Amino acid sequence: MTAQELQDIIAANLACEHIEVSGDGRHWSAVIVSPEFEGKRSIARHQRVYATLGERIKTDEVHALSMKTLTPQEWAAQN
């Protein structure tokens, strides 16, 4: 799997205003900005992203994903 493929999978299943994915094919890092994160704690945000990956997590196709999950307002405040 490539970074672009992983990014496309997440974006197809989660409304993203911004997404960046990098990694080596098994270990990934992502910055994901979504209005769906409003009012959710970090763990709920991560669970929502993992849900977009479905079987890919269970089958170890995506072994590890480190995430920074932000609302659009949080993203704007950082940039």
Sheet holding 18-23, edge to edge: 18-23, 27-33, 64-70
* Domain residue ranges in the chain: 3-78
pTM above 0.95, yes or no: no
Provide φ and ψ at 28, rounded to 5°. -125, 155
The length of the chain, given as a count of residues: 79
CB 48 within 8 A of CB 13: no
The predicted-structure confidence for 25-69, as pLDDT tens digits, reads as follows: 888 999 999 999 999 999 999 999 999 998 988 888 888 999 999
Q: Which CATH number fits domain 3-78: 3.40.50.11710, 3.30.300.90, 1.10.150.530, 3.90.1150.10?
A: 3.30.300.90
Position 39 scores a pLDDT of 97
Task: Give the helix/strand (H/E) hosting 57.
Answer: helix 55-58
